[in-house]
Structures are given as structure tokens and as C-alpha cells.
Amino acid sequence: MAQQAAGMSGFDFSNAMVVITGAGAGIGQGIAQAFHAAGGRVALGDLRKDAVERAAAGLGGERTFAGAVDVRDEKSVQAFFAAAERALGPVTIAVANAGIYPNCPVLDMTVEEWDRVMETNMRGVFLTCQAAARSMKTGARAGKIITISSGAYASGRVGASHYCASKAGVVMFTRVLAMELAEQRINVNCIAPGYIKVDTETLPPTSDFETALIQNTPWGRLGTPADIAPAALFLASAAADYVTGEVLSVNGGAFAGRMYLPLSTPKAR
């Protein structure tokens, strides 16, 4: 079964133990499915216990562990890693995916709202990566750590100052951690998704917002979690052993330029 799955994905993770936060839905769940299909042992963590248990059950229950984790809380993260490693063995790959993306203009934003985003999107990445790196270093194991940022790290958006700032912070944190862990041969890289269509507990985006995004995406569609998962597989594979401290944008070409602009001069006849 592992060989069949590896053949379908192009990668074989049958010897890997993968920890993924925010795996109860969306991008995290898609990444968990991909690693599991490629033969990996997968530990799914999420603040929502019911959601993450359903996600793990959807993988068939074999080679999986599901646990509730609050990535903002150091003790919760440590307890989750300890339980995952007891169930599936030492971690070799970690994906710090958990994040939130509310909208609020700066002048209307409360300190609590700002802190909530920073605690989840920044502190959560820090604590997840720290726990993974400490385990890998203690066991003298080379490993792969992947953070999930966003195209928002390089392109601001009205109403998302806290989100954009947090995702820019994730990129710089990734680069510094990559330097610090290079001696242990622990690769640290970042994926910056474009807009990914997922179910959300917050207010859904307007159709005008999504239409504008599609118009500025050369690929002409919104992304899905299945578009992000292959990037995670690549960065976690031996094919990326000489890649560290990098940001891999997966956005259908949205960073290529301004697709919405017409020709600046008339077409030649």
C-alpha cells in the first residue's frame, strides 16, 4: 500500500513521522492526506478536537494520531508532540500550519484582536518549530520543518494588517531558524500560498473579492488545499536536501504581475 501511494505522489514517506498543526480542515488537512497517501505516519493536531479526529478517521485510522493542541500555549504544544511521538515514533517532519485570518481595519482593531492573530500565527509557529527542532536535535536526527505563510507576507491587503504582519514575521522567522539549524542538517522552509478556497468559520469572502483575485491570477482560478500539498511533499523530501531558508510561493502566478491591466498600446495590425 505504501509503495502504491508513493508511486502516485512521486515521493515515499514510509519511514517518516509527520506532525501537522491546523490539520482539522483546509490546507493542513490536505497536507496530512498527501503525506499519509505517500506512506507516512501522520500526527494531526488542531484546536478543534472533533474536527481533527474526523480528519484522522478520514485517512482510515492507520498510521495516524489525532490530538487537540493550542499552538499558542507552550505546555499544550509540548504535550501534543510527546503524545504524537509515543504513538508514532520520533518526529522527522513538522508542518507549522495553524493560523487564523480575520479582517479588521486598523482604526477599529482592539489590542485583543491584534494579540489573538499574533499569538496564533506567530507564537504558534515559533512553539511548533521549537518543539520539532528540539526533538530532532536531541535524537541527532536530520529533519524537515515547513512553515506556512501566505502571499500576504509580501503584498498588503486593506483590513488585514495583523494578518499580513504575522505572515511576514513567519517568513523571517523561517530564514533565521534555517541558519540556526543548518549544522544539525535540519532544513527549514516556508510555503506561501495564494488565496486558497477553504471552508471558514469566519465570514466568507464576497464574490467581488474572489472575482478580483481570479482576475489577477494567470491560472484563472482560486487555489485548493490539493495545490499546496505537493509543495510540502517536495520540501520534506530528499529532493530538497539542499533547499533551506526559502519561500516557495504557490499562487497560480499571482505574483507574476498585474493581470488586470489591459494592453498599454494598441495591438499591431
Cβ atoms of 69 and 80 within 8 Å: the answer is yes
> In the chain, what is the straight-line distance between the N-terminal and C-terminal CA atoms, in Å?
59
Structural contact between residues 18 and 88, judged by C-beta atoms closer than 8 angstroms: no
Instruction: Please identify every residue annotated as catalytic.
Output: 163
- DSSP alpha helix (H) spans, the chain: 2-9, 26-37, 49-58, 74-88, 111-118, 124-138, 161-181, 207-215, 225-236
Rounded to 10 degrees, the C-alpha dihedral 51/54/56/59 comes to -140
Bridge partners, residue 186, by sequence:
143
Q: Shortest CA distance to 37 belongs to which of 61, 8, 17, 64?
A: 8
Output DSSP code: residue 148: E
